Structure 1
Amino acid sequence: MQMTRMLATTAMALGLAATAQAATVPAGTTLADDQTYTFWLLDAIKSMDPQINTDVEGSDVLRNLFEGLYNEDGNGELVPGVALDHTVSDGGLTYTFNLRDDAQWSDGTPVTANDFVYGWQRLADPANASEYAWYMELMQVANAPQVVAGEMPVDQLGIRAVDDTTLEVTITTPLPYFPQMLVHASTFPVKQSVVEEFGDNWTQAGNLVGNGAYTLVEHQLGERVMMEKNDTYWDAENTVIAQLTALTINDSNQALTRYLAGELDRVDIPAGQYPRLAEEYPDQAKSTPYNCSYIYMLNVGEKGPEALKDVRVRQAMAYAVDRDIIVDRILQGGQRPAYNWTHWAISDFERPALPWADEMDQAQRIEAATALMTEAGYGPDNPLDLRLQYNTSDDHEKIAIAASQMLKAIGINITLDNYEWTIHTDRLQNQDFDMARYAWCGDYNEASTYLDLMTSYSGHNNGEWFNDEYDQVMADSKQAEDPQPLYQQAEGILAAEMPIIPIYHYANVDMISADIQGLPDNNVNNTWYGKDLYRVAQ
């Protein structure tokens, strides 16, 4: 993106994309009387706290209740949020953000630079035990490692309010993609007085004070989230959709049925149904690349099975999975087979050559997998028993059943464990699994958003695979003028060590009501905002 390129001048302002912020309704468009938008959530949202939330669905809600320094437009380009623009010092280590003076909290008080300071300090503070505390380290914020480790007080974090509308951030290494990282919910501001007044209950409807285009009016965990237009939002005049509703429906087929009945405006298309729906509803069925990768994470830590500590077993398991069957016969929605971790559509990324992926067909992989299992001491008379855990979803179940049959062919007996989302993620965080369904959606459009996750300092390396060489490669990438060769080297290490089994790279496969306009169709991150949407008359 243009604005992330470093300019070799002191305090040179970086340009942003077009500054239109809310819904841009073409001239002559007739708007519907009903300006509501109802969308589907597969799972309950674990937290409405920007610094605590870890899942994509939670981020979709938080992006409407809060606003960070920058937003993204439909093409993934950065546009002003609370920050109008920023300057970068010579050397690229100090960012100074100029904040708008008309940003307000939903209680009518001004949003100030101190609100960002407080939010970032909450994220890094070990007392809050945020799984995303490591994000401050990834952003290279000065003193973040020491603050996160409890070795420095939070007020030593490299962020300060120069005045109410000027925010200064100091980083330790120039990162060309640093501004892109600022659209992530963990970097959103939080109002300190509200947190202190309500404590753990500050995110409940009626208590929560946000600075986004919508306010929270109802949250029934596992059922619905309702948000209404926030009249104090700085661009409320151009916000068309008056109400956002998210419905939690664990069954994707039931969700599709409710969409077709008119209860939802957007829903994921269940596995295998895209070809039919695209033919029947060509103006509603959509498939576009999506910055997420689907894997099976292997527990190689102390609590994991002894067998998975053997790299030959891990390699055999990865070889045995036939990704073409999963993508072409089960999913059928434009997804691509994955033989590596980083999504193929990530900007500037090119997957390195991988012999097991590029030089073998599936029959040869099965042959190699069987040989590896024999070398590791397993065979027909000594099969390996493992448990495969996944969160509730018909699609995850179909893939798990298929994978279990593929692994059975090389002497691995799989027992399937299905858990509701919150239990599934709790078990992952506690290393209470053998192998588990996992998916990562990039926090920004750059390969490090995937590759940093597998470092030893990552807050999401739940399989506890730790590799000094890998850590060093990723550390070196932060200093490199061109990090792409190092990213390829990191992917090569993952392919050799196989702590994860790549399955497929996502596509966004949705049914979207034809009268809903303003959703992004050229943003690989699928970052959307209710304020950009509008419903046309039919």
Structure 2
Amino acid sequence: MTLTSFLKATTAAAVIATGGAAWADSHATHPETGEALASEQTFTYRVGDESPSFDPGLVEDVDGSKIVRDLFEGLMNQDADGNLVPGVATGFEVSDDNLVYTFTLRDNAKWSNGDPVTAADFEYAWKRAASPELASPYAWYIELMSLENGAEVIAGDKPIDELGVTAVDDLTLEVRLSQPLPYFADMVVHGTTFPVHRATVEAHGSEWTRPENIVSNGAYVLTEHVPGERLVRERNPMYWDNDNTIIEKVTALVITDENTALTRYLAGELDWTQVPAGQFPSLSADYPEQAVSVPEACSYYYMFNLRDNAPEELQNPDVRKALSLAIDRDIITNAVLAGGQKPAYTFTHWATAGFETPDIPMAKMTQDERNAMAVELLEGAGFGADNPLTIDLVYNTSEAHKSVAIAISQMWKQTLGVETTLANQEWQTFLEARSNGDFDVARGGWCADYNEASTFLDLMDSGSGYNDSKYNNPEVDALLAEAKTADNPQANYDKVEEFIAQDTPIIPIYHYAAVNMMAENLEGWPYNNFQQNMYSKDFYKIAE
């Protein structure tokens, strides 16, 4: 079966919201589809690294966000197509000037200890995420949301109580913006905006997310966490929609090696794992019902360290552009990865809602033309056979990242004579190194927090918390600020992408596809959700 026919065959099941039985046996059937349900309703999947945190106020990685979406629930969720659907909030109203959002919370939402979930829990969580005391790596997201006084609160220039969020009463949350933001409602799907249980945080401090301490409001509760090995969550009987949850237990296993994970998947130990680089063609031929590739809202790139104390040669945009030109992205996507990824000449993913990919001159050139220009630029910067450029390239531990790095270093060597030293680092160490500027060139991957181009391009703002290059271009900052209030921000996005191509603070390399192996009896996966935001509560297993 081809990928296209596989998706057609599974789409109907994938987009149906899970409902009905809170348990399953060999005779139970799905209340919506009528499918016979498997007697064992568990979901086990692989993660490559231990997530730094699954505290909503601190979470910053994709795998951690998956955990947070199971343990906690925000105001709004997404369905299998990526559309907004009610979460703790049943809906919201927007003022005529688009500056005030009023969310109405459901009256049956509870914390796992039985306490009611109230608007005050959201107010506390948002103010906590913005507070200088927490020092959240995602505090900047609160500012991106255009919350009233967000920038000033994060900077410590205004008290936390002046942040534009107020619990009017237990079931009413008022949010005030400093400027209209057309995609604001989509932003409250992100984990940073999820509620936290104040009494638990204050009682246990940094250990409040341990299994014996945590109080959460999502469809699942944390029952076991062995760092570096596994994290287990089980159904939360206090969840308002628990009766319509079918998967009983979700287990994330830390398996650093992609090939080991694939072996364990094929042995039946996993229900879902990522396809190792280059193996999708053979796996899709051997397992057509299980191998799947769909566009995913992430971009893979390399970033340059542009701090004042970084290597002088990388401060030259001609050097950076030469390195970008010399990368044959078609080889990376077609030969190294071979999973449906697409070459990237813009930072924004080509499938982002409302985004039209601008004309970037490099994209229209042949690779021979790119290589010739790269040689000319690097020689003009004073580097060549007698004075080779040397680069340290770091990436987080992964066979896929290693394969890409080796291929690119060989391209740089063959075309430009560049000597590249490769180094892999454990995930948490890698994040700290990038944040602290302990790199020359570093691997980057950015997945959309919401489906709009600014989720990518705002990383180029000089004040962005994830602008690890420390790229600083006042014109880019102005374009991004103006885009937030523009009726049609596409022209601004075009210019920002042109600046990226011109200044090359980063090298866009490819746009992701979600390339996975999926158990044949697992249903409910959000194939049509561009962000691939998964909710285990929407999954179910059919009988063999």
Tell me which interval the TM-score lies in, with the shorter structure as reference length: over 0.9
Q: How much has 1:302 moved relative to structure 2?
A: 2.1
* In the alignment, structure 1 residue 134 sits paired with structure 2 residue 134: no
TM-score, normalised to structure 1, is 0.95
1:491 paired with 2:468, answer no
* Deviation digits for residues 436-464 of structure 1 (CA, Å, limit 9, x no counterpart): 11100000110000000110110000111
Alignment of 1:261 with 2:267, yes or no, is: yes
Q: How many Å separate the matches in 2 of 1:144 and 1:270?
A: 41
The structural deviation recorded for 1:25 is: 4.6
Asked if structure 1 preserves the Cα contact closer than 8 Å seen for 2:110 and 2:217, the reply is yes
Of the three residues 449, 452, 466, the one matched with 2:472 is 466
| Structure 1 portions without partners, runs of 5+ | 1-17
Asked if structure 2 preserves the Cα contact closer than 8 Å seen for 1:85 and 1:98, the reply is: yes
Normalised TM-score (structure 2): 0.94
Q: Which residue of 1 aligns with 2:8?
A: none
Question: CA deviation digits over 1:386-414, x for unaligned, max 9?
Answer: 10001111111010000001111213210
Residue in 1 that maps onto 2:379:
374
Match of 1:157 among 156, 163, 169: 163
Secondary structure of 2:416's aligned partner: coil
Which 5+ residue runs of structure 2 have no aligned equivalent?
1-14, 21-29
Alignment partner, residue 410 of structure 2 = 405
2:335 pairs with one of 319, 325, 329: 329
Mean Cα deviation higher: 300-309 or 492-501: 300-309
**Equivalent pair of 1:113/1:167 in contact (CA under 8 Å):** yes
**Residue pair 1:292, 1:343 contacting (<8 A) in 2 also:** yes
Provide the residue aligned with 2:394 in structure 1: 389
**Equivalent position of 2:534 in the other structure:** 528
**Counterpart for residue 148 of structure 1:** 154
Contact 2:16 2:32 survives alignment (8 Å): no
Find the partner of 1:40 among 20, 29, 46: 46
The answer to whether the 8 Å contact 2:18/2:539 transfers is no
Which letter maps to 1:196?
E
The structural deviation recorded for 1:22 is 5.1
Which runs of 4 or more aligned residues in structure 1 lie more than 4 Å from their structure 2 counterparts after TM superposition?
18-25
> How far is the alpha carbon of 1:21 from its aligned partner?
6.7
Distance 2:493 2:186 in 1: 18
Which residue in the other structure is 1:175 paired with?
Answer: 181
* Closer, same or farther: CA 334–19 of 1 in aligned 2, 3 Å: closer
Instruction: Answer whether contact 2:16 2:524 (CA < 8 A) is retained.
Output: no
2:494 alignment partner AA? Q
Letter matched to residue 389 of structure 1? V
Is contact 2:384–2:417 with CA below 8 Å preserved after alignment? Answer: yes
SS of the residue corresponding to residue 126 of structure 1 reads: coil
Which position in structure 2 is the counterpart of 1:4?
A: none
What pairs up with 1:58-207 in 2 under 5 angstroms?
58-207=64-213
User: Residue 30 of structure 1 aligns with which residue?
Assistant: 36
Q: CA deviation at 1:258?
A: 0.3
Structure 1 residues 226 and 512: CA distance shift in structure 2, 3 A: same
| Counterpart position of 1:10 | none
2: CA distance, partners of 1:527 / 1:393 = 22
1:219 Cα deviation after fit: 1.1
Q: Counterpart in 1 of 2:507?
A: 501
Specify the alignment match of 2:234 in structure 1.
228
- Give me the whole-angstrom Cα distance separating, in 2, the residues matched to 1:97 and 1:19: 26
* CA distance in structure 2 between the partners assigned to 1:460 and 1:273 by the alignment: 31
Q: In the alignment, residue 215 of structure 2 is paired with which amino acid?
A: V
- Structure 2 CA distance, aligned partners of 1:20 and 1:267? 23
Q: Does 1:439 align with 2:445?
A: yes
Could you say what secondary structure the match of 1:183 adopts? coil
| Other structure's SS at 2:507 match | strand
Q: Is the 8 A contact 1:97 1:168 kept in 2?
A: yes
Contact 2:140 2:464 in 1 (8 A): yes
1:303, distance to aligned residue in structure 2 (A): 3.2
Deviations 1:467-522 (A, max 9, x none): 10000000000110111111111111111100001110000000000100111010
Q: Please state whether the residue corresponding to 1:463 is helix, strand or coil.
A: coil
In the other structure, the counterpart of 1:309 is 315
The answer to whether the 8 Å contact 1:37/1:265 transfers is yes
Secondary structure of the residue aligned to 1:127 is coil
Aligned to 2:487: 481
Deviation at 1:351, TM superposition (A): 1.3
1:374 is displaced (CA, Å) by 0.8
In structure 1, distance between residues paired with 2:433 and 2:491: 35
Paired residue type of 2:397: T
* 1:305 Cα offset (Å): 1.1
CA contact (8 A) 2:18 2:32 kept: no
Count of residues in Structure 1 that have an aligned counterpart in Structure 2:
520
Query: Is the 1:303–1:432 Cα contact (8 Å) retained in structure 2?
Result: no
Aligned residue identity for 1:490: V
